[in-house]
């Protein structure tokens, strides 16, 4: 390259549309097309054959050796070089045409109808036509009109067409629908929507007027998408819209009706496009047909023939059918009397336009289809294409002009003298001419072609626009940043990336070098010396120095691919595009399967995101699909790797803890700076290169190895993973420590809660915690739900503890925390008894309480936190349960005491078994007597008291002891054996007895009353008066006797 010239020339040489470049530059950059197809009928994408060269087609059709009527359609995707080919045909034909051949070339210019008319008016053949009216109309049509005014005219013209449609179009809609459509189109908000820059009216306007920003290959038509009504649009228009417009808008919002209605409206309106364009341009539908008829007639008179080149038929949008009508008319046969000259037409069109807008009768009359495939260049063709542009911009205009002036023979093709890039790649073209590819390498051209061009853009236009122009501008304006002109992320070889990252600390420089070595070189992590020259990634080291890259050292070795970057010795040294292949580096030791292209693309995309992440952007791991899903999966895979790689038990971490972490939303590893802030993992990978290496290794593990290390290059990824886990193991072990968040391990509340449970369930009835051992912890649960005597608060708490399986979960925690799995299989489990003993000691020591500081924080692992929450839920209810238990016990004991001891000061606390046995006997007497006395008292079997005397006495003692306990937990344990259950029936018995005593009183009173006057019977004074005296006398006589 000669940058001093290129700086001046680049703008004029780099013209994406051939028609705007100078003739000299055009020819100097032209690369012969060798793969043209000649389908017999229209095919959107004809089957590939060996192809035809442009020269062959030129000779066969353009030169038209048989002098016949021709209508040749040159078609292909946008940007494939249709214009270029037609222009090349025209340029070449200008030199080769017979004397009586008139060549009319309608360039695409700005691809508008006005531009096309202007070209026609400038043609001498048109100036001489007889029909002056047409000429005048065309002259008026090119007069500039204010943009908004013209757009308004176009819009209202469509409304007018719909409003006045009498149903004579091919596609019709109902009157109701038509009226709705008119109302809809007249709505102010709808109008604004349809006139938006990417809307249909801008597209149509762009085909009429000049200087618009719309893509030139855009077709002037309505599409179904134009009529999709969003919620926003509906909300905006609904206030001002009349009912008809609203109804249609609503219909167009509904998903199911969407495609059908919108497509129908679009198709319906498209019928009016030609009429509206013609009317707005001020021309008549038949003008173009007539003008070409006139031209042909004039030429016929002059005994001349016409060869017409139309770069793009869409230049005639609105009148294209009229034009085609004129072109298909043959000069011979039934038209001979018309006196028309022979016409040979070459019309360029996109595949889509040809398919949809050429009427069938036009397609049938096309004498030859010429198809330009998208990928028109082979590998060498691509190099030559780029090389010619680079060469042309490095040559002064005069040199080019001089070459053209001398008929532009290939042998005379001028080649510039390289001032930059002498050691870079070259491409050899016809006649052995070597064109320097600076600032490209062959590899970079292939890579950029694969990576920089979007799908469907693999055409010359985009090679120029997206590769050559930005690259050259980049190297000319800022060599220090080269290459920085593309925004895709190339597939990175992790070893290369790693090595560069380790040696180049400057992040930007490191990234630039990696980018260059990957896209310009072979992207492998190897360097080698050949002929005394050092190559890194197959790129000469001096090239790297020339671009100011920092010095790095790579692994000794070489890619199996041919070197790139070496000065071409024979001009034919080829390389394979390494795009998408870099990951499969040529490590001689690499084993495993090769990744698919899809997998490579997926991985590369994800690694690209990692690059953005390390550059400061957020990383998205929120989705399960797409790149976000790939990154998310990598995060999960790293978590799994961490979980399964560390021997937690050996590190003193309970497997239960790990299992809980596994089940929780708190991950072992999360990435720094995520798009959606979720709970940070135990270890947060910083947004830096090393993290990206690791993540990318796991991405490949999944995508390439399908969750295995079986893929090419996996050894290094495995190395990254294992070295990382080795280095960070202690961090994880420290991070999963279950005392970090709450200050104590969750096993403490779990054990305390379990002890609480066992106490409350009566499974542990010890008076102190000292008796609670591992044996108690692992004792089988009592399955019974027998009736107990506890208070409702006590029962409610037990029920609460068992709700939703919380107890089972907690018990599992308490029991499994100390499990130690033996061996890798894990079927044999032993108990970490010392640790369990310590935990039980702690529970005993702190009397089932936890430090209050543990309540201030929350454990990040939900399952662990549940142990604390379970304990806290229980602990906060214990006081109440004990209090109610006390009240119940007090109440029962008060009843018992009052009934046994009355309101006396008698010592109440000594009720022994013998007392109760005596009591039982007395009670038996009572009821026996009642029975004997025939009182209506239900007999109470005092054997109940007799048989349970020991139990009652013991329970009463236990209850008294419990009531004396001031400490809640001591009281809890005292009540654990449920003495109330025993004293309650005794209290109830006493209550019955008391009640029966009252009944006896009442019954006796009643019966005594029934006896009537019994005074006489019981008047002992009168009845036994004398005996009383006598006995008293006896006492007096004997009592004082001294013996």
Residue 949 sits in the site that holds another protein (CB under 8 A):
no
Residues 6+ apart with CB under 8 A from 897: 908
Stretch that binds another protein, among 20-28, 304-312, 808-816, 1008-1016 (CB under 8 A): 1008-1016
Residue 863 CA to residue 655 CA, distance in Å, equals 13
Residue 939 sits in the site that holds another protein (CB under 8 A):
no
Nearer to another protein, 636 or 912 (CB): 912
Residue 423 CA to residue 544 CA, distance in Å, equals 11
526: how many CB neighbours lie within 10 A of its CB? 24
Selected binder of another protein within 379, 672, 872, 915 (CB under 8 A): 915
The footprint of another protein on this chain (CB under 8 A) covers a number of residues equal to: 49
- To another protein, the closest distance from the beta carbon of 1029 in angstroms equals 9
Selected binder of another protein within 853, 925, 947, 1002 (CB under 8 A): 925
Which is nearest to 994 in space by CA: 903, 890, 896?
896
Stretch that binds another protein, among 248-256, 281-289, 457-465, 902-910 (CB under 8 A): 902-910
Residue 726 CA to residue 107 CA, distance in Å, equals 68
For residues 600-619, which are near another protein according to CB under 8 A?
A: none
Nearer to another protein, 891 or 1005 (CB): 1005
Q: Please check whether residue 881 is in contact with residue 788, taking contact to mean a CB–CB distance below 8 angstroms.
A: no
- To another protein, the closest distance from the beta carbon of 794 in angstroms equals 30
Residue 943 sits in the site that holds another protein (CB under 8 A):
no
Nearer to another protein, 169 or 995 (CB): 995
Region at 805 (left for phi over 0; alpha for psi -120 to 50; beta for the rest): left
Residue 523 CA to residue 560 CA, distance in Å, equals 12
Nearer to another protein, 560 or 1020 (CB): 1020
Nearer to another protein, 210 or 991 (CB): 991
Selected binder of another protein within 147, 922, 936, 964 (CB under 8 A): 922
Q: Please check whether residue 42 is in contact with residue 368, taking contact to mean a CB–CB distance below 8 angstroms.
A: no
Residue 995 sits in the site that holds another protein (CB under 8 A):
no
Residue 56 sits in the site that holds another protein (CB under 8 A):
no
Residue 914 sits in the site that holds another protein (CB under 8 A):
no
- To another protein, the closest distance from the beta carbon of 917 in angstroms equals 12
Residue 266 sits in the site that holds another protein (CB under 8 A):
no
Length of the chain: 1043
Stretch that binds another protein, among 408-416, 634-642, 759-767, 999-1007 (CB under 8 A): 999-1007
Residue 31 CA to residue 52 CA, distance in Å, equals 14
Residue 902 sits in the site that holds another protein (CB under 8 A):
yes
Residue 548 sits in the site that holds another protein (CB under 8 A):
no
Nearer to another protein, 390 or 896 (CB): 896
Compute the C-alpha angle 79/80/83, nearest 5°: 75
Selected binder of another protein within 911, 956, 958, 962 (CB under 8 A): 911
Residue 993 sits in the site that holds another protein (CB under 8 A):
yes
Residue 1008 sits in the site that holds another protein (CB under 8 A):
yes
- To another protein, the closest distance from the beta carbon of 1018 in angstroms equals 3
Query: How are the residues of the chain apportioned to helix, strand and coil, as percentages rounded to the nearest 5?
Result: 55, 5, 35
- To another protein, the closest distance from the beta carbon of 951 in angstroms equals 18
Residue 933 sits in the site that holds another protein (CB under 8 A):
yes
SS3 sequence, 384-445?
HHHHHHHHHHCCCHHHHHHHHHCCCCHHHCCCCCCCCCCCCCEEEEHHHEEEECCCCCHHHH
Q: Please check whether residue 504 is in contact with residue 510, taking contact to mean a CB–CB distance below 8 angstroms.
A: yes
Query: Which H or E element spans position 655?
Result: helix 655-663
Nearer to another protein, 198 or 994 (CB): 994
Stretch that binds another protein, among 503-511, 582-590, 668-676, 899-907 (CB under 8 A): 899-907
Residues 6+ apart with CB under 8 A from 945: 916, 919, 920, 923, 952, 986, 989
Question: For residue 433, what are the β-bridge partners?
Answer: 429
Residue 240 backbone phi and psi in degrees, to 5: -95, -10
The two tokens of residue 472 are 């050259």
Selected binder of another protein within 774, 900, 944, 981 (CB under 8 A): 900
C-alpha pair distances (Å), 980 with each of 519, 764, 953 = 86, 16, 12
Q: Please check whether residue 109 is in contact with residue 78, taking contact to mean a CB–CB distance below 8 angstroms.
A: no
**Do you find a cis peptide bond into 80, omega within 30 degrees of 0?**
no
Residue 814 CA to residue 236 CA, distance in Å, equals 62
Residue 857 sits in the site that holds another protein (CB under 8 A):
no
Residue 171 sits in the site that holds another protein (CB under 8 A):
no
3-class secondary structure, 683: strand
Residue 1001 sits in the site that holds another protein (CB under 8 A):
yes
Selected binder of another protein within 74, 86, 513, 923 (CB under 8 A): 923
Cα dihedral 843, 847, 849, 850 in deg (nearest 10) = -40
For residues 1010-1039, which are near another protein according to CB under 8 A?
A: 1011-1012, 1014, 1017-1020, 1023-1024, 1026-1028, 1030-1031, 1033-1035, 1037-1039
Residue 1041 sits in the site that holds another protein (CB under 8 A):
yes
Nearer to another protein, 56 or 1031 (CB): 1031
3-class secondary structure, 155: helix
The two tokens of residue 483 are 């290459």
The two tokens of residue 395 are 């040559």
Stretch that binds another protein, among 264-272, 622-630, 725-733, 993-1001 (CB under 8 A): 993-1001
**Site for another protein, rule CB under 8 A:** 899-902, 904, 906, 911, 915, 918-919, 922-923, 925-926, 929-930, 932-933, 935, 990, 993, 997, 1000-1001, 1004, 1007-1008, 1011-1012, 1014, 1017-1020, 1023-1024, 1026-1028, 1030-1031, 1033-1035, 1037-1039, 1041, 1043
């Amino acid at each position: 390259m000669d940058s001093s010239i290129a700086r001046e020339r680049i703008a004029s040489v780099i013209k994406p549309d051939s028609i705007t470049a100078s003739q000299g530059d055009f020819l100097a950059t032209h690369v012969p097309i060798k793969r043209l197809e000649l389908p017999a009928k229209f095919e959107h994408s004809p089957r590939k054959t060996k192809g035809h060269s442009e020269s062959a087609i030129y000779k066969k059709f353009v030169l038209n050796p048989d002098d016949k009527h021709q209508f040749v359609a040159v078609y292909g995707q946008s940007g494939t070089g249709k214009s270029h080919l037609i222009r090349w045909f025209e340029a070449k034909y200008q030199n080769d045409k017979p004397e009586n051949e008139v060549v009319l070339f309608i360039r695409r210019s700005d691809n508008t109808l006005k531009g096309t008319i202007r070209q026609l008016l400038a043609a001498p053949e048109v100036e001489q036509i007889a029909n002056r009216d047409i000429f005048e109309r065309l002259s008026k049509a090119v007069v500039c009109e204010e943009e908004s005014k013209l757009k308004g005219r176009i819009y209202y013209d469509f409304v007018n067409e719909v409003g006045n449609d009498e149903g004579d179009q091919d596609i019709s809609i109902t009157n109701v629908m038509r009226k709705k459509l008119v109302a809809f189109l007249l709505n102010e908000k709808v109008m604004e929507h349809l006139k938006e820059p990417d809307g249909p009216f801008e597209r149509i306007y762009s085909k009429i007027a000049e200087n618009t920003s719309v893509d030139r290959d855009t077709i002037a038509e309505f599409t179904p998408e134009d009529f999709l009504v969003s919620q926003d649009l509906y909300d905006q228009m609904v206030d001002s819209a009349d009912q008809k417009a609203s109804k249609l808008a609503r219909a167009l919002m509904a998903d199911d009706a969407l495609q059908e209605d919108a497509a129908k409206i679009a198709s319906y309106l498209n019928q009016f496009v030609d009429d509206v364009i013609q009317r707005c341009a001020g021309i008549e539908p038949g003008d173009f047909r007539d003008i070409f008829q006139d031209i042909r007639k004039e030429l016929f008179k002059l005994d001349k023939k016409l060869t017409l080149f139309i770069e793009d038929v869409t230049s005639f949008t609105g009148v294209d059918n009229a034009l085609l009508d004129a072109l298909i008319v043959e000069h011979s046969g039934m038209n001979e009397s018309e006196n028309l000259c022979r016409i040979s037409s070459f019309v360029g069109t996109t595949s889509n336009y040809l398919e949809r807008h050429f009427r069938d009768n036009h397609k049938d009359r096309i004498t030859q289809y010429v198809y330009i495939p998208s990928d028109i260049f082979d590998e060498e063709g691509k190099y030559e294409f780029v090389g010619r542009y680079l060469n042309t911009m490095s040559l002064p205009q005069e040199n080019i002009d001089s070459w053209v002036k001398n008929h532009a023979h290939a042998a005379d093709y001028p080649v510039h003298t390289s001032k930059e890039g002498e050691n870079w790649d070259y491409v050899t073209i016809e006649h052995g001419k070597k064109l320097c590819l600076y600032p490209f390498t062959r590899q970079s051209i292939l890579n950029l072609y694969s990576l920089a061009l979007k799908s469907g853009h693999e055409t010359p236009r985009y090679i120029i626009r997206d590769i050559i122009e930005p690259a050259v501008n980049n190297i000319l304006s800022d060599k220090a940043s080269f290459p920085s002109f593309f925004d895709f992320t190339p597939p990175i070889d992790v070893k290369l990336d790693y090595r560069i990252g380790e040696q180049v600390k400057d992040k930007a420089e490191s990234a630039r070098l990696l980018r260059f070595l990957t896209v310009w070189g072979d992207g492998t992590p190897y360097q080698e010396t050949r002929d005394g020259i050092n190559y890194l990634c197959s790129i000469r080291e001096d090239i790297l120095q020339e671009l100011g890259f920092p010095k790095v050292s790579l692994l000794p070795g070489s890619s199996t691919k041919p070197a790139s970057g070496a000065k071409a010795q024979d001009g034919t040294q080829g390389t394979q595009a390494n795009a998408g292949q870099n990951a499969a580096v040529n490590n001689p030791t690499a084993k495993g399967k090769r990744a698919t292209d899809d997998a490579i693309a997926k991985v590369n995309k994800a690694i690209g995101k990692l690059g953005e992440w390390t550059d400061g952007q957020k990383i998205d791991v929120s989705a399960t699909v797409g790149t976000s899903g790939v990154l998310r999966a990598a995060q999960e895979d790293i978590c799994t790797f961490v979980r399964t790689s560390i021997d937690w038990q050996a590190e003193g971490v309970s497997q239960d803890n790990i299992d809980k972490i596994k089940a929780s939303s708190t991950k072992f590893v999360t990435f720094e700076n995520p798009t959606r802030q979720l709970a940070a993992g135990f270890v947060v990978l910083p947004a830096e290169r090393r993290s990206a290496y690791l993540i990318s290794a796991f991405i490949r593990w999944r995508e390439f190895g399908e969750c295995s290390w079986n893929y090419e290059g996996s050894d290094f990824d495995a190395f990254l993973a294992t070295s990382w886990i080795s280095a960070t193991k202690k961090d994880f072990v420290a991070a999963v420590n279950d005392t970090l968040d709450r200050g104590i391990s969750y096993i403490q509340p779990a054990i305390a809660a379990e002890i609480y449970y066992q106490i409350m369930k009566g499974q542990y009835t010890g008076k102190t915690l000292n008796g609670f051992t591992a044996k108690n912890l692992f004792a089988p649960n009592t399955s019974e739900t027998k009736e107990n005597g506890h208070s409702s608060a006590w029962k409610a708490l037990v029920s609460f503890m068992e709700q939703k399986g919380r107890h089972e979960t907690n018990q599992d925690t308490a029991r499994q925390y100390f499990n130690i799995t033996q061996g890798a299989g894990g079927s044999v489990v032993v108990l970490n008894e010392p640790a369990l003993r310590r935990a039980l000691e702690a529970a005993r020591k702190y009397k089932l309480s936890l430090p209050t500081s543990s309540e201030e924080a929350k454990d990040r692992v939900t399952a662990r936190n549940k142990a604390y929450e379970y304990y806290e839920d229980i602990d906060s209810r214990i006081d109440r349960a004990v209090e109610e238990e006390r009240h119940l016990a007090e109440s029962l004991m008060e009843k018992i005491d009052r009934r046994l001891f009355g309101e006396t000061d008698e010592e109440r606390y000594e009720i022994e078994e013998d007392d109760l046995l005596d009591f039982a006997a007395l009670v038996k007497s009572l009821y026996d007597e009642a029975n004997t006395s025939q009182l209506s008292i239900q007999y109470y079997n005092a054997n109940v008291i007799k048989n349970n005397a020991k139990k009652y006495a013991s329970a009463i003692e236990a209850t008294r002891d419990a009531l004396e306990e001031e400490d809640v937990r001591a009281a809890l344990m005292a009540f654990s054996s449920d003495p109330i259950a025993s004293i309650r029936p005794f209290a109830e018995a006493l209550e019955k007895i008391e009640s029966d005593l009252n009944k006896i009183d009442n019954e006796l009173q009643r019966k005594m009353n029934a006896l009537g006057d019994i005074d006489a019977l019981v008047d002992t004074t009168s009845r036994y008066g004398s005996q009383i005296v006598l006995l008293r006398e006896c006492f007096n006589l004997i009592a004082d006797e001294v013996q």
